[in-house]
């Protein structure tokens, strides 16, 4: 099979499992999980970054090969998301930014319109922008048209581990949009990630399911394997499904009919 690499903003991404850094029991466990997953892209909330801190800094635990994507967790509108992105860049965290604009405190569902405003502004400033959004084809097109590096629809609400509850909507987006689709939020099992990749997603983003598992390091490895398997199956092409049984072996030709 030919080399299969996801390229975004000039960066070659071999591992299509994007990993989060929150909720781990320690930074050491987080680092071990990222290494086990062989993650190339990791997200970090700006409030957890302090390059001037005398105590341990989370960035010191991010493996060297990883591209850091700051997320705007905590932003309630476009203005706050833009401010966080600018602060992150000024702090030396790079220009990859995942836009999270959440005004709903109960279900933590993204505000698509405010996210679009932030995306439009930050793309113009040269940021590599990944908008986190509720699945909607027309909004996804607007994100793509304004220059988003990828579109990140939720699978289910953040941290719920409920899996891919938005499957049909995500499938439509994959078919209709050329910009990479990366399912983010709610994936709870490696099989959820595999399903996304079989559908044709460019990558998946996972945090909670790995971080709160009984063995984050091994669960990260399991997710990475599932993502790889799902991607390989997509590239090969899934076998057709049928409503009636189809014998896997011939039912005739082995026994001679008696006279």
**Domain range list for the chain:** 6-236
Nearest to 51 by CA among 65, 68, 66, 37: 68
Q: What is the pLDDT of residues 118-153, one digit of tens each?
A: 999 999 999 999 999 999 999 999 999 999 999 999
Average pLDDT, the chain: 91
Q: Which carries the bigger pLDDT value, residue 53 or residue 138?
A: 138
Q: What is the pLDDT of residues 3-27, one digit of tens each?
A: 688 999 989 999 999 999 999 999 9
The residues annotated with a catalytic role in the active site are 98
Residue 152 β-bridge partners = 132
What region does 3 belong to: left with phi over 0, alpha with psi -120 to 50, or beta?
beta
Q: What is the pLDDT of residues 209-246, one digit of tens each?
A: 999 999 999 999 999 999 999 999 999 998 887 778 87
Task: Please give the model's pTM, rounded to 2 decimal places.
Answer: 0.89
Fold of 6-236: TIM Barrel (3.20.20)
| End-to-end Cα spacing for the chain | 52
Phi and psi, residue 17, nearest 5°: -100, 105
Please tell me the least confidently modeled range out of 55-69, 103-117, 140-154, 187-201.
55-69
pLDDT the model gives residue 53 = 54
pLDDT the model gives residue 91 = 85
- Res 115 pLDDT > 80: yes
pLDDT the model gives residue 259 = 53
């Amino acid at each position: 099979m030919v080399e299969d690499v996801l390229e975004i903003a000039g960066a070659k991404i071999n591992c299509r499992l994007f990993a989060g850094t929150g909720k781990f029991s320690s930074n050491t466990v987080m680092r071990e999980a990222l290494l086990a997953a062989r993650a190339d892209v990791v997200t970090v909330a700006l409030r957890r970054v302090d390059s001037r801190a005398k105590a341990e800094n989370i960035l010191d635990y991010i493996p060297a090969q990883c591209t850091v994507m700051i997320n705007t967790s905590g932003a309630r509108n476009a203005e706050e998301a833009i401010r966080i992105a600018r602060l992150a860049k000024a702090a030396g965290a790079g220009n990859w930014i995942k836009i999270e604009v959440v005004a709903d405190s109960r279900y933590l569902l993204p505000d698509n319109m405010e996210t679009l405003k932030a995306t439009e502004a930050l793309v113009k400033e040269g940021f590599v922008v990944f908008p986190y959004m509720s699945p909607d084809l027309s909004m996804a097109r607007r994100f793509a048209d304004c220059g988003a590096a990828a579109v990140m629809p939720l699978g289910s609400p953040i941290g719920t581990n409920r899996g891919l509850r938005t499957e049909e909507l995500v499938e439509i987006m994959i078919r209709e949009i050329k910009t990479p689709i990366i399912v983010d939020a709610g994936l709870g099992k490696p099989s959820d990630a595999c399903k996304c990749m079989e559908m044709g997603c460019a990558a998946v983003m996972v945090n909670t399911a790995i971080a709160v598992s009984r063995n984050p390091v091994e669960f990260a490895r399991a997710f990475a394997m599932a993502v790889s398997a799902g991607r390989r199956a997509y590239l090969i092409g899934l076998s057709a499904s049928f409503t009636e049984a189809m014998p896997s072996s011939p039912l005739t030709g082995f026994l001679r009919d008696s006279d």
